[in-house]
Amino acid sequence: MEKILLDTDIGSDIDDAVCLAYLLSNPECELMGVTTVSGEPVKRAMLASVLCRAAKKEIPIYPGVESPLFGKNSQPLARQADAIGRWSCETEFPRGEAVEFLRKTIRRHPGEITLLAIGPMTNIALLFSVDPEIPSLLKQLVLMCGVFTNRLAGVGPLEWNALCDPHATSIVYNAPVRIHRSIGLDVTCQVTMSKQDVEKNFTAEILRPVKDFTRVFFESFSVMTFHDPLAAVSIFAPGVCSFEHGNVEVELGGGKSEGMTFWTPDREAGRHEVALGVDKDSFFRHYFSVVNR
């Protein structure tokens, strides 16, 4: 059983909801709590609550930080929140306690928790800054963040989660975590599904609200990319992604490249593991075998 803490900006791209549905369905996952990040964090918490209720699970949910450490909020709205009124969910949540919830939970289970961060890094950076010992108490840190190669034409060089709060991203990549893994845009963009295939394959009960959330998403996009679900699946099905050690640096100092991630391979002494490949068919087989069980 894997103890997981999820930090998410559910309500913007649809893949956060697809990821949470997977974690709630996975019998090998003990979901210890969910924290939300970025604009309208309470509405994002309500969206997470919709899925937890659909799964009939009582999961602690804490709205987190709304704005980046510096600069303007690039993601002020949780657009999928328009669907909340059609589903049952919690409406009251602890305020201003997300970072402390993460801190206390990790300290209660030293060496046992995987922190899965699939939104801007603000909550995680604050957590590591408030309690610098926390990175060493994690089992592992798994991020959907960054772009590390130019192997996929037209992808990058910037990735949204890293870009939304570059200074937070830099703090997180400098944290001394035992296992520090990233699944970047150059890999996740290989795992996609058309709107038609989503309609055909999203048949599980837990995916009913997710399909409802996609109404807003598919107004702007014709394809769903499984960025965040791939990060989650890599925890439970390690063979789905191939990783290599190296070191990641984050560009700061302003300009158009701020938030860009640079990876240098170092198989012997690299502090970070970066996904370089994915078995798309294995991913989909595993994902749907879990949510459709």
pLDDT above 90 (res 153): no
E strand or H helix at 251, and its extent? none
| pLDDT of 32 above 80 | yes
**Angle of CA points 214, 215, 218, to nearest 5°:** 75
- Distance, in Å, from the CA atom of 292 to the CA atom of 90, rounded to the nearest integer, reads 25
Q: Which helix (H) or strand (E) holds 185?
A: helix 185-188
pLDDT of residue 256: 85
Q: What is the pLDDT of residue 179?
A: 98
Rg (CA), the chain: 17
* Lowest-pLDDT choice from 86-100, 108-122, 145-159, 271-285: 145-159
Can you read off the two tokens belonging to residue 134? 């926390």
Which residues constitute the domain of residue 138?
2-291
Residue 118 scores a pLDDT above 90 = yes
Angle between helices 98-108 and 122-130 in degrees, nearest 10? 60
Separation of CA 163 from chain center: 14
**What average pLDDT does this structure show over 91-102?**
97
Residue 293 pLDDT class (50, 70, 90 cuts): confident
**The pLDDT of residue 216 is above 90:** no
Strands 29-36 and 140-144: unpaired
Q: Per-residue pLDDT tens for 38-60?
A: 999 999 999 999 999 999 999 99
Scored b (16 or more CB within 10 A) or e, 85-94 reads eebebeeebe
Length of the chain: 293
- What's the domain count of the chain? 1
Q: Where are the beta strands (DSSP E) in the chain?
A: 2-8, 29-36, 61-63, 113-117, 140-144, 180-183, 192-194, 223-225, 241-250, 261-265, 272-278
The predicted structure's pLDDT at residue 215: 87
**Mean pLDDT throughout 155-177?**
95
- What the block records as the tokens of 84 is 């909340």
Whether residue 282 contacts residue 237, with contact meaning beta carbons closer than 8 Å, is answered with yes
For the segment 266-287, what is each residue's pLDDT rounded down to a tens digit? 999 999 999 999 999 999 999 9
Residue 27's domain is classified under what CATH number? 3.90.245.10
Residue 81 confidence (pLDDT): 94
Q: What is the pLDDT of residue 146?
A: 97
For residue 13 the two structure tokens come to 């791209």
What's the pLDDT tens digit per position in 254-270?
888 899 999 999 999 99
Q: What is the pLDDT of residues 76-94, one digit of tens each?
A: 999 999 999 999 999 999 9
